[in-house]
């Protein structure tokens, strides 16, 4: 997803980097979905302004729209005509060509991930565990960088880090309070989430 300097008044650009076989995704990976089209009515496509981009949209609404598009393609205005035809035949007649094409791309994606040593989660539990590990790793790295930056400022001081678990809805949310000690004086520097 790329944001121009005109964002949020113009939509970001979004494309898939891996090959996709979907009626609403161009061969080059660009996504054809109303929410990513420039604001205003479009007589040529028949899209109304309320279906297109507005400054009220955000990354969350874009991702929700894309999830919806992936599960329920719009075959009446396809970006990939061949994928649209195969999808319709699969839905109407059970023709396996669409599913076979998608399976080939999934296998190719899995091979690429394996070559790049990326573990693709296959269950919700694996996904949430992987996500929690990434969050924890990112938080630890961020704290270490912050402490190193403070220690570099003054060689006579020592930074201590205390972690307090907040009672929040998120089990991975921690409040980090950093103290800087110089001789016998302790100063609270920052709260870091």
Taking alpha carbons only, the member of 10, 8, 9, 28 closest to residue 18 is: 28
Q: Does the annotation mark 32 as catalytic? A: yes
Q: Is the pLDDT of residue 2 over 80?
A: yes
Q: Give mean pLDDT, residues 114-124.
A: 85
Better-scored residue on pLDDT, 81 or 156? 81
36-40, 49-53, 56-60, 124-128: range with lowest mean pLDDT: 124-128
Question: In 3D, which of 31, 69, 39, 32 has the Cα closest to residue 57?
Answer: 39
pLDDT score at 148: 64
Q: How far apart are CA 26 and CA 29, in angstroms?
A: 5
pLDDT at 150: 59
Q: What are the pLDDT digits (tens) for 138-191? A: 655 655 666 666 556 555 544 444 444 444 444 444 444 444 444 444 444 444
**What confidence score (pLDDT) does residue 145 get?**
63
What's the mean pLDDT in 65-89?
93
Please state the rounded mean pLDDT for residues 20-29: 95
* Among 14, 32, 33, 66, the one annotated catalytic: 32
Name the band, by pLDDT with cuts 50, 70 and 90, for residue 126: confident
CATH number of 1-120: 3.10.110.10
Q: Is the pTM of this model over 0.85?
A: no
CA distance 51 to 40: 9
Confidence of residue 68 (pLDDT cuts 50, 70, 90): very high
**Domain regions of the chain by residue span:** 1-120, 142-192
């Amino acid at each position: 997803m790329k944001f121009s300097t005109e964002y949020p008044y113009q939509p970001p650009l979004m494309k898939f980097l891996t090959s996709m076989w979907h009626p609403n995704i161009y061969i080059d990976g660009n996504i054809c979905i109303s929410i990513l089209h420039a604001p205003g009515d479009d007589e040529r496509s028949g899209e109304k302004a309320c279906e297109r981009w507005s400054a009220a949209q955000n990354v969350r609404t874009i991702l929700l729209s894309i999830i919806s598009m992936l599960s329920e393609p719009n075959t009446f205005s396809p970006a990939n005509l061949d994928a649209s035809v195969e999808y319709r035949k699969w839905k109407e007649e059970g023709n396996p060509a669409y599913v076979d094409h998608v399976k080939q791309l999934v296998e190719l994606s899995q091979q690429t991930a394996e070559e790049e040593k990326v573990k693709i989660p296959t269950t919700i539990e694996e996904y949430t565990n992987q996500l929690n590990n990434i969050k924890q790793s990112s938080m630890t790295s961020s704290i270490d960088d912050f402490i190193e930056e403070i220690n570099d400022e003054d060689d006579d001081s020592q930074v201590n880090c205390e972690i307090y678990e907040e009672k929040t809805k998120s089990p991975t949310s921690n409040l980090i309070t950093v103290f800087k000690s110089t001789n016998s004086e302790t100063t609270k520097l920052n709260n870091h989430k």
